[in-house]
Amino acid sequence: MARQDRSARRSHSESSLEPRLSRASVGRLSLYLRRLEEFQRAGIHRISSNRLGQPLAITDTQVRKDLAFLGRLGQPGIGYDVDDLIGSIRSTLGIDRCWSAALVGVGNLARALLRYNGFIERGFRIVALFDSDLRKVGQAVDDLTIYPVSRMKEIIATTGAELGILTVPASAVQNVADELVAAGIKGLLNFAPGLIRTRPGISVVNVDLTVQLEQLAFLVHLTSTEPLS
C-alpha cells in the first residue's frame, strides 16, 4: 500500500512538470506575432518556418522549436496557418484579452508612454495615474486624473488594474512596488534603475534604458574595432 502511495505521488509530480517557455522564447514569440500580423494584413494565409524566421534572423529550426510549445499547428510541406498561429501565440502570451495598468510617477517618461498608441493597439490600457508630488495631484493627463499615492489601494480596486508601471526615481521604486503589490497589482514594469524585491507570485520586468544604450554602444564599438577582411 505504501509503495502504491509513493508511486501515485511520483506519477502526479511527473505529470505536473509541464515544460515552460524561457523568457528568450517568449521574446521571440512577440517578434513572430508582429511578423504574422504583417502577413495577415497582406492577405497571406500560410507561411513556412523559414519565411517567418528569416527576416528576424532566427533559424527555421529555432522557429519550429519555439512554436512546438503551442501544440501541433504546422504541417510538413504545408506550413502554418497564419490566423491559427496568431490566435495561439496571443493566447499563450496572455494577450487575447485586455489588460489594465496603473502608472506611478507622472513625469516626462510617463507622459511619453501615455501618448504611445501601441499600448491600446496591443490591448493594454492605462487606467490610473499616481504621483507623490502634491502639485501634480488633481491634474488631468489624457482624460486621467492624477491621484495621490495614499489613494492607491482604493483607486486600483475601483479600476481593476492588474499591472503596475513604475516611472519613479530609483530611491522610491521599492516602496512604490510594495504599495502596488499591497493594493492588488500582480505584475510590475519597472523603468527605474535597480532591482525590485517582491513576494513569490508577483512578476517583474525591468526596463533599464541605460543598459540598452550600453549594449548598443558595445555593438557599435565591436563593429568599428573588427579588422576588415
The model's pLDDT over 61-103, given as tens digits with 9 standing for 90+, comes to 999 999 998 887 877 778 899 999 999 999 999 888 999 999 9
* Bridge partners (DSSP) listed for residue 187: 163, 203
pLDDT mean across residues, the chain: 87
Query: pLDDT value at position 6?
Result: 43
Band (122; pLDDT cuts 50, 70, 90): confident
pLDDT at 15: 35
Residue ranges, comma separated, of all CATH 3.40.50.720 domains in the chain are: 99-212
Q: Is 188:202 a contact under the CB 8 Å cutoff?
A: yes
- Do the Cβ atoms of 35 and 54 come closer than 8 Å? no
- Judge contact between 138 and 105, C-beta under 8 A: no
Q: Give the list of residues 6+ apart from residue 217 with CB closer than 8 angstroms, or none.
A: none
Report the alpha-carbon distance of residue 128 to residue 104 in Å, rounded: 8
CATH 1.10.10.10 range(s) for the chain read: 23-93
Taking 90 as the threshold, does the pLDDT of residue 137 lie above it?
Answer: yes
Contact 162, 185 (CB under 8 A): yes
pTM of the entire predicted model:
0.78
Mean pLDDT (whole number) for 20-48: 91
DSSP string covering 104-126, please?
Answer: E--SHHHHHHHT-THHHHTTEEE
The distance of Cα 19 from the centroid of its chain, to the nearest Å, equals 19
- The Cα–Cα gap between 60 and 75 comes to 14
pLDDT of residue 155: 97
111-115 LR contacts (CB < 8 Å, sep 24+): 111/141, 113/165, 113/167, 114/141, 114/142, 114/144, 115/142
Query: How confident is the model over 169-225, as pLDDT tens digits?
Result: 999 999 999 999 999 999 999 998 878 999 999 999 999 888 888 888 988 988 887
Domain with residues 23-93, CATH architecture: Orthogonal Bundle (1.10)
Is the per-residue pLDDT at 229 higher than 90? no
pLDDT reported for residue 210: 86
Predicted confidence at residue 4, as pLDDT, reads 45
User: What CATH fold (topology level) applies to the domain 99-212?
Assistant: Rossmann fold (3.40.50)
